[in-house]
Every structure is written in C-alpha cells, then in structure tokens.
Amino acid sequence: MEEMKWVIQVNDDLKKMVDTSTETEQWKRRSIYKVPACVADLNTKAYIPQAVSFGPYHHGKKHLNQMEEHKHRALLHFLKRCRKPIDLFFNSLAQVVQELKDSYEPLDPMWKDDTPRFLQLMILDGCFMLEILRTATSILDDYAPNDPIFSNHGKLYLMPYIRRDMLMLENQLPILVLDHLVHVENNEAKDKEFVNKLILQFCSPNTRISKMGKCLHVLDVHRKSLLGENPRPKTRPRKWAGVSCTGVNHANGDELIRSATELYEAGIRFKKSASESLEDISFTGGVLRLPVIVVDDATESMFLNLIAFERFHVGAGNEITSYIFFMDNIIDSAKDVALLHSSRIIQNAIGSDKAVAKLFNSLSKDIALDPESSLRVVQKRVSGYCKKPWNQWRANLIHTYFRNPWAILSLIAAIFLFAITIAQTIYTIYPYYHESPPSSPYHDFLPPSPVVSSKHNPPHH
C-alpha cells in the first residue's frame, strides 16, 4: 500500500514538473544556505551567530533571544523617524515574498507556509540591520545616549560581534529586503547602490568602490569588496574545483609551490601588490606580489563563510577559495608568517606567528585551486623559476649551510682552513721559482768575458 502511494506521488510530481528554464530561475534565486555537517563539523562555531540572528535559520535560538527586544525597539525608532506606517513596508515586501522565500535553501515549512509570520521576520530583522549599518557613519541621535546598542558604548563593545555575525552564510537577509525598506522610507529617492554603500562602510570602511552592481546579501557585498571593483573576467565557464563531503582533495601535487621561506631561499622576493584586491597576485622578475591582509579574531569565521558561499552558490566564483589555497601553500610555519610580515604583507593582530600559520592551514582543509583560476598561472611561473638550475643550487646551498648557525660556522671554518692551506702551499713553492741560481764551483777557472768594442769606448793600446 505504501508503495502504491509513492508511485502515485511520483506520477503527480512528474505531471507538475516544470521545464528547464523555470528550474534555472528557481536555482538562481537561492543565495542563503544551510552549511551541511560535513563542512560545519570542521569548525562549528564559525557558522553559528553568537550575538544576533538575521533570517529564519537561527531565529528563536535561546542564546540569541536577548537581542529580540533590541530589534523591536529599533523597529519603533525606524518607523517614528521616517513617519511611515508599517503597513506600507508590509505591502511592499508582500509583492516579492515568494522571491524572498526562494532565497533560502532549505526553508522550514513553518516559514514557507506562514507568509505573514515570514514577512514580520523580514521587516523586524531588516529594520534592525539598517539601523546597525547606519551606525557606521554616525550615531543615530534619536536613541538614548546610554543605549546598549545604538550608542558610542554599543559601537565600541557590541558592533564587532554583530559585524562578525552579519558575515555568516546562514545568518543572511536577502538584500532585496533592505532595498524595499529603504525605497518605502525615502519614497524611492535613494539610488540602487545606497544599500551596498551602507554595507561597505560598515564591513569594510577603508575600501573605496564606486559601483558594485546587484548583490545578494551582506556576505556577497563583502566578498566583492575583497575582490575589488574590477574583478578579472572569466574566459570560460567555471568547472567546480571543490571537494566532496568525503574530503577528497582534487589538487595536483605537481603544481603546488613551496613555502615562503623556501621561495626566499630560491631568490624570490615578496612585495605588496598595488591594490588590496585578493585577486591581485602576480609574479614577474623574481618578485611575488601579494595583497596586504589583516589577520584578526574574525578572519577565520569570515573566510570559512566566504568559502562556503562559493562552494554552494553556483556561479559565485572561486576567487576567495583560490586565494586561501594559494596562501596555505606558501605558509607552512611561523617562519613563513614572519617573512611575509617583514614584507608588510601580513598584519598580525591575533598574537603569535604560529597562530596565523595554523589559521591558514585550517582554512584550507578540503579545498582545491580552481582550474580556471589566474593563480594557477602564478603557481606555474613560481615553480618554473624555482626549478632553474641556479635557483635550485642557491636554495640547496642556503637550506644546507645557512639554516643552522653551527652549520654556518662550520662552513666559514672550512673556507678559512681552505684559504690557509692554499696560502701555505703558495708560500712553499714561491721561493723555488723566484730564487737566483746557485754559483758554479768552476766559476774561478772560467776565462773572462770578452770585451765588446764600441765606437764610443775604443779599446786601449
């Protein structure tokens, strides 16, 4: 009987099956994902918000409920300031509610089937996020000066944690929510880049990008800011270069490059790139140029979520993943971090160089370099440079004799002894070739040398 129900269900689904173009549109809408256990288990805390929830995935979690009161207060301030009834915002979002629901993969039936509750969540979280973003440029003056969130105190002590939570893949709101709220608030007077600029000022205040185009959510905006204003064009459709949940790495070991210390021993020097884009990595004339990166307490969580987004969102690209893969190749130990720090490429804000090395090594678990990535070309150039005979000899010499201070002293002593030996040999044989020949014993019996006549010295008679 159960088998018959399943057969009937499959036949019904087959009749309702949409064409490929419709499926394509449905997949394109999805941009916020649940991180599966095979990925999250590597670092569970990196994907779970600790201060505030945005969207349905973590709403109602016990450790986040304290922030719900602040969300409601922010909503009231938002409505009072713009002098618009909440009905206008509700109706505006209701027009795109299906598109908002389709952004989440998966979406629990409790949200999928209860549209009013879903819209209430979008408005409440969206207004709170807008109020948070606006604190990046100024303190909102309609809040109490001792407000725990929207004050100088909150900006100093709570905003870093909120910023970290806003960059988690499972904790996103579709940017469409923020766009509609801003348009209703300002009678559609704001330009299309207004929300992008708000997010940019909050998450990356030192980044200057004039136009970002259509973005999906806060994490997507931040990703584009890390790649710069003019990302490199993709010449061919991307082939997925990730891993399966079994952790199989598809990287080609022959194309891996050595650590920064070994590259330095082979004669390669490190310099800062002209821009801060994570794509701006190049190698010419024995110089490897890398963008400056600040490593702090939020770096690990941020990169793990960016990598997860690239992994699950088809068409997002693989630039961040490729960058992490490349950095893991050249960072094996604290010595590599110290070398890059001395070249002003890594700014260490978490303490020891060993901790930074461990961070990059952990980020690269179960990832591989995209076959279409421009960094593969850089890797090949660096590897080719290191394989040249002179560079190999130089690297082997430094690695063998200049890694250990005792080896250096032994080499110096050997050279000194060799020089002394040569000097002693020269001193011994030099007199043999430059002394006057000894006098003959028959010298007294030899006739005198004939006197040569000259017109200037005529002979005497």
Of 146, 168, 140, give the one whose Cα is nearest residue 34. 168
Of 237, 221, 219, 324, give the one whose Cα is nearest residue 281. 324
pLDDT at 239: 39
Q: What angle do CA 290, 231, 29 make, to 5 degrees?
A: 130
Please, which residues bridge with residue 120 across strands? Answer: none
Band the pLDDT of 12: cuts 50, 70, 90. Answer: confident
Q: Is the pLDDT of residue 244 over 70?
A: no
pLDDT at 341: 95
Band the pLDDT of 143: cuts 50, 70, 90. Answer: very high
Q: What residues does each domain of the chain span?
A: 27-227, 253-387
DSSP state of 56: S
DSSP state of 269: E
Hey, what are 209's tokens?
Answer: 């990008």
Rounded mean pLDDT, 310-331: 93
Indicate the range of 81-90, 222-231, 235-244, 291-300 predicted with least confidence. 235-244
Q: Is the pLDDT of residue 250 over 50?
A: no
- Rounded to 10 deg, the angle between the 374-386 and 389-401 helix axes is 70
pLDDT at 403: 56
Indicate the range of 49-63, 168-182, 206-220 predicted with least confidence. 206-220
Hey, what are 432's tokens?
Answer: 């043999």
Indicate the range of 63-77, 338-352, 429-443 predicted with least confidence. 429-443
Look up the pTM and report it: 0.81
Whole-angstrom distance, CA of residue 232 vs CA of residue 319 = 10
Indicate the range of 86-100, 249-263, 368-382 predicted with least confidence. 249-263
> What pLDDT, in 10s, does the model give residues 396-412?
555 555 555 655 566 56
Whole-angstrom distance, CA of residue 283 vs CA of residue 383 = 11
pLDDT at 429: 75
DSSP state of 290: E
50 vs 368, which has greater pLDDT? 50
Sequence-ordered strand ranges (E) for 248-309: 269-272, 282-284, 287-290, 293-295
Rounded mean pLDDT, 417-431: 76
Indicate the range of 98-107, 129-138, 292-301 predicted with least confidence. 129-138
pLDDT at 430: 67
Whole-angstrom distance, CA of residue 41 vs CA of residue 58 = 17
Residues 165/49, Cβ–Cβ less than 8 Å: yes
437 vs 131, which has greater pLDDT? 131
